[in-house]
Structure 1
Amino acid sequence: MNKIKQLKKQLNGNSFLLFITVALFVAMYVAGMIVFADKGFAKPQMFLNLFITDAGLLVTSMGLTIVMISGGIDISVGSVTALVCMVTAVSMEKYGLNAYTTIVIALLIGLAHGIVQGFLVSYLEIQPFIVTLAGMFFGRGMTSIVSVDMISITNEVFLKWAKFKIYLPIGSYNKKGVFLPAYIYPTVVIALLIWIAIMIIMKFTKFGRSIYAVGGNQQSALMMGLNVKKIKFQAYILDGILASIGGYLVCLNSCAGFVEQAKGMEMDAISASVIGGTLLSGGVGTPFGTLFGVLIKGTISSLITTQGTLSSWWVRIVLSALLCFFIILQSVFAKFKTRNK
């Protein structure tokens, strides 16, 4: 009987959802290594490419994870990314600003976006979906006002940042027996440092614990003496800043700005968070799980690209199927918890 109770406790625990996410990623990637071994899927560089391609998404997903844990949502991060990329490109190419100044401008865009949305959600108590939907339309509209053309970045300093390779002591041999070291870009380093910082904030700081408390039960948080409105406000500000940083990393990856950039990125970020174990109802989730949610998305994309004959839309189809699967799992575990209480 004790063993059965322990098993139920594990099944009811949110750690089990995280275990499924990690196991799914490992299974998918190992399957890819076996099936596409002749196409280089088993090479270290293929794994590192997951981080290179989705460095911006990882940072943006961290912001979504924080907001969702607090009980909110943000569907405007894709438009923030597009706006940051366009403003960055136009600032350097048309107005001659240096690359360092564009970093400040990008952060200010994210800060302003987060302050406005956070104020409307927390202090005016407007539904987060409605506020961020308006934010999404505003961001896309402002992007097209800045420019409707595709702007390629030619700034030397910016391109130097974008193309700087950090070689690692791992790699693979080509057909001629020459060793090719694997590499990453500075965007990956920045993304992982931010991921570690968010991990520390959410687990070891008062702010992180307050986010979980507010998302878990707002009334209980109020009774504990927490300033719920202020905490939600701060969560959206941090979300806006992370969205702008993620946008800048996307810009470093594409070296261009255009109106349709990062279209659907908000759905990718939400999917990564949910697949990583973040509950849509709030109160539960970890940046660690979100990392694997991002890696799963990247693996699906790599598998379909490597396969070669399937449409890129299959990435969205598979990702949406996984999202539904994990939402159903969350619902099932929530019912188990309710029954056990």
Structure 2
Amino acid sequence: MTTLHERTGLSEGLASRYRTFMSRHAGLMPTLAAVVILLVLLIGAQIAFGNFIAPRNLSALLLNNAYLVVLAVGMTFVILTGGIDLSVGSVMAFTGILCAKLLSDGLPAVIAIPAMIAGGAVIGLLIGILVQYFDVQPFIASLAGLFLARGLAFVVSLSSIKVEDPAVLWLQRTRFTVGDWYLTPTGILALLTVAVATFVLQWTRFGRTVYAIGGNEQSARLMGLPVTRTKVLVYVISGACSGLAGLVLTAFSGAGYPLNGVGTELDAIAAVVIGGTILTGGSGYVIGSLIGVLVYGVIKTIIAFEGADPSWTRIVVGALLLVFIVIQRVIVARSERRR
């Protein structure tokens, strides 16, 4: 039998290990909280509806939100540096209608698709230059990008343009099935984007620089890191991801439309924050952003199952966002006290 002294020593040792883990991995807590919320939502929906956790329903979750996953990946890069990008929804609309227009004019997909992604990257480059070289606040610079991209979308066309190119439609209509599970090429594109971004952020010098800038930009400069180039490049990445999301959404809907993506930038920001990326920068994970998108998608699906007004999706996501911002403030406050 263990003595009281041994039990006390054991409990103190466990408490010490817990405190050490929390201090070293505090940035993981919001992401783990998002995972817990996702599991609770899935289990609760299964209890309520009985057939919610079905292979086809879960497969559709990724299919319906693939474009948002791609947008959230680009947004994660920007927020990790302490910035914000409000242009992503409008850039997605512009690149989508541009692709549809180019295809309807007879250009092959091998030209139209790179052109739309390049168009998104150029708008991201302009925003990055405004932020870094003209010292414009990211909110204002990306707001200018939002108006620019939306205006360009209306310049291309005032109405919807149907896409009939078989290569683009193949991205959505093709199903790779395993039993009752299925995956579309658009879903594969979204998962590949997450995988590449995870590798870049976790195992490359560029990724470490992104985290360093978000943690303390002045220290990053003193360390000799390429701060200027990196801050411009994260907006280019966000713009390119918006262009890719435009392709995914165009394939999903079968048409380009200049009013696509209105308010989608807020959905992307919400997904990134719910996934655990701290708004002040320096802490977060692309996998967390994927979890955030899945949380958003599950909430939207539950409300559809209930037959409730879709506006409840915004209400619930807004409430979750408030909770996660409070969690982030607690984490930041604790990290500052430890310093």
**TM-score for the superposition, normalised by structure 2:** 0.93
Aligned residue for 1:111? Answer: 121
Distance in 1, matches of 2:201 and 2:85, equals 19
- Aligned partner of 1:305 in structure 2 is 304
Q: Is 1:25 the counterpart of 2:38 in the alignment?
A: yes
Q: Distance in 1 between matches of 2:309 and 2:259?
A: 19
State which of 51, 55, 58 in structure 1 corresponds to 2:62: 51
2:325 aligns with: 327
Q: 2:223 aligns to what? A: 224
Shift of 1:162: 2.5
1:11 and 1:333 in contact (8 A); partners too: no
Return the alpha-carbon distance in structure 2 between the equivalents of residues 84 and 20 of structure 1: 35
Give, in whole Å, the separation in 2 of the partners of 1:320 and 1:264.
Answer: 13
One-letter amino acid of the structure 1 residue matched with residue 319 of structure 2: A
| Equivalent residue number for residue 149 of structure 2 | 139
Shift of the alpha carbon at 1:218? 0.6
Once residues 4 and 338 of structure 1 are traced to their aligned partners in structure 2, the CA distance between those partners, rounded to angstroms, is 22
Which residue, 62, 73, 85 being the options, matches 2:73? 62
The match for 2:110 is 100
How far the C-alpha of 1:11 sits from its partner, in A, is: 4.5
Deviation at 1:262, TM superposition (A): 1.2
1:73 aligned to 2:84? yes
Give the aligned partner of residue 90 of structure 1: 101
**Is residue 107–residue 241 contact of structure 1 (8 Å, CA) maintained in 2?**
yes
Partner residue of 1:280?
A: 279
Contact 1:111 1:241 in 2 (8 A): yes
Distance 1:112 1:102 in 2: 15
Q: Please report how far the alpha carbon of residue 98 of structure 1 lies from its aligned counterpart in structure 2 after TM superposition.
A: 2.0
Quote the Cα distance in structure 2 between the aligned partners of 1:247 and 1:338.
40
- SS of residue matched to 1:221: helix
**Greater mean deviation of Cα atoms: 78-87 or 101-110:** 101-110
Amino-acid identity (%): 34
| Counterpart residue type for residue 300 of structure 1 | I
CA distance in 1, matches of 2:121, 2:244: 10
Partners of 1:60 and 1:269 within 8 A in 2: yes
Q: Deviations over 1:197-236 (max 9, x none)?
A: 1111100000000000011001110111112111101111
| SS of 1:167 mapped into structure 2 | strand
Aligned length: 326
- The unaligned stretches of length 5 or more in structure 1 are 172-181
Rounded Cα–Cα distance in structure 2 between residues aligned with 1:41 and 1:60:
26
Instruction: Indicate the SS of the match to 1:125.
Output: coil
Report the secondary structure of 1:203's partner residue: helix
Question: Distance between the aligned counterparts of 2:154 and 2:337, measured in 1?
Answer: 51
* SS of structure 1 residue aligned to 2:304: helix
Aligned equivalents of 2:209 and 2:188: distance in 1?
A: 28
SS of 1:183's partner is: strand
**Offset, 1:43:** 1.1
Question: 1:124-172, CA deviations, whole angstroms, 9 ceiling, x for partnerless residues?
Answer: 221100000011011111111111112222223322333111112x32x
Write the deviation string for residues 75-109 of structure 1: whole angstroms up to 9, x where unpaired.
1000001001111112222x122222210111111
Displacement of 1:48: 1.1
Structure 2 regions of 5+ residues with no counterpart?
1-11
Name the structure 2 match of 1:165.
175
Distance in 2, matches of 1:316 and 1:10, equals 35
Contact map agreement 2:29 2:276 (CA 8 A) in 1: no
